[in-house]
Chains A and B, each alone.
Chain A
Amino acid sequence: MPFHTKRLSRYAILAGLLCWATSLEAVSTAPYRLAEEPLFGLPVTNSMVMSWVISLLIVVGVRVLVKRPKLIPGAGQAFVEDVLGGIRGIMEPIVGKALIGKVFPLLIGLFVFILIQNWSGLLPGVGAFGYKDAAGNITYWMRPGNADLNMTLALALVSSVGAWTYFVLRYAGPKALLYDLFGNKADRNEIPRPIYLFLFPLFFMVGIIEVVSIVFRPVSLSFRLFGNVFGGENLLVNMNEMASWIFPVPFYMLEILIGGVQALVFTLLTAVYIGLICNHGDEEEHAH
């Protein structure tokens, strides 16, 4: 009997915790409009202003750190070079040696922008002040730009539609692209003739599935980034609600980690999508 009561009380505590957790507040997905009147036909939202500020900070920050590039770098230039070199080292085997010089500006731009954008949610004041709307959701006056689906969708369209199409058509060509999607990749000399012919429709079907997955790339890229950043904001709000002191600190650490990982993931996936089509010659050289 004592065992049962102990167990019951444990369940009761768990249920109480659950009720408490479900009664916590949610952050609104809608952005806060700074101006009632649209500017040049576009509404100005807090996410937009945040991303402008971040872009300015990156430009000014790199200018201040590097000043004028020297052969023997100072501390600031060494830091920037270290970041660039590290990212380049990760991306080079994926995109291929031939293309890395051309793709790298895009990749480092995406990485730094998304990284600083993610971490901007941890600044004091960002995601801290706001008001509650009719449904009880909090709308913040300042919040990280990536907690807005419009922003991540724009980033995903730039990286996986615009840049992908440009690099693939420019450096691989439409013929290589079509062969890569629909072509018969079996070796003609090693496989008997009827099976080889039978493989044509098979590879065509595989190509159609591939096209569907390519079409869904912007969706998954943007949702992943949005979900992580927005979910992180929500998590921090709820943890601060539960206990304001000490308790949220580990979650801030988690957010630092997630911000870095998601920036890396976005950049890596962009590199992989480009490298999948463009990076063939490199591999064969290594293999033989």
Chain B
Amino acid sequence: MIEVLAAVEGNIHHGLQAAFGCAAAAIGVGMVGMKAVESVGRNPGASGKILVQSILGMALAEAVAFYALFLGR
């Protein structure tokens, strides 16, 4: 059993790393989007400024996914 687990883990950790990194980035992007929509609902006049800020926040959160995908091999 332990051998099987080790074998599975040995093959799977690249995929797991990418999966966790992308999941975390997706949660971050989702939270930014949620708050952006919320704030546009509160103050529709500021939608232009909020769009810029939220795109920036999403971009920074998204970078984590690419670190996980490319850097940590």
Contact = CB atoms under 8 A, between A and B. Distances in A.
Interface string A263-277: 011001100100000
A227 B55 CA distance: 17
Contact of A220 (B52, B55, B63): B63
A265 B66 contact: no
A227 B65 contact: yes
A265 B55 contact: yes
Interface in A56-97: 90, 93-94
Given A220-B66, A220-B67, A227-B65, A265 B59 contact: yes
Interface string A160-194: 00000000000000000000000000000000000
A94 B52 contact: yes
Contacts of B62: 224
Contacts of B56: 265, 268-269, 272
Interface string B42-65: 000000110010011011101101
Interface string A12-51: 0000000000000000000000000000000000000000
B52 A223 contact: no
Given A90-B52, A94-B52, A269 B59 contact: yes
Q: What is the predominant secondary structure among interface residues of chain A facing chain B?
A: helix
Q: What is the predominant secondary structure among interface residues of chain B facing chain A?
A: helix
A261 interface: yes
Interface string A215-238: 000011001101100000000000
A90 B49 CA distance: 8
B34 to A, nearest CB: 18
Interface in A202-219: 219
Contacts of B58: 265
Contacts of A265: 55-56, 58-59
B55 to A, nearest CB: 6
Contacts of A220: 60, 63, 66-67
A7 B6 CA distance: 30
A15 to B, nearest CB: 16
Contacts of B60: 220
A268 B52 contact: yes
A269 B53 CA distance: 11
Nearest to B63: A220
Residue among A93, A220, A264, A272 with the highest chain B CB neighbour number at 10 A: A220
29 contacts: A90-B48, A90-B52, A93-B49, A94-B52, A219-B71, A220-B60, A220-B63, A220-B66, A220-B67, A223-B66, A223-B67, A224-B59, A224-B62, A224-B66, A226-B66, A227-B66, A227-B69, A227-B70, A264-B55, A265-B55, A265-B56, A265-B59, A268-B52, A268-B55, A268-B56, A268-B59, A269-B56, A269-B59, A272-B56
* A-B residue pairs, 6 tightest by C-beta: A223-B66, A220-B63, A265-B59, A227-B66, A224-B63, A223-B70
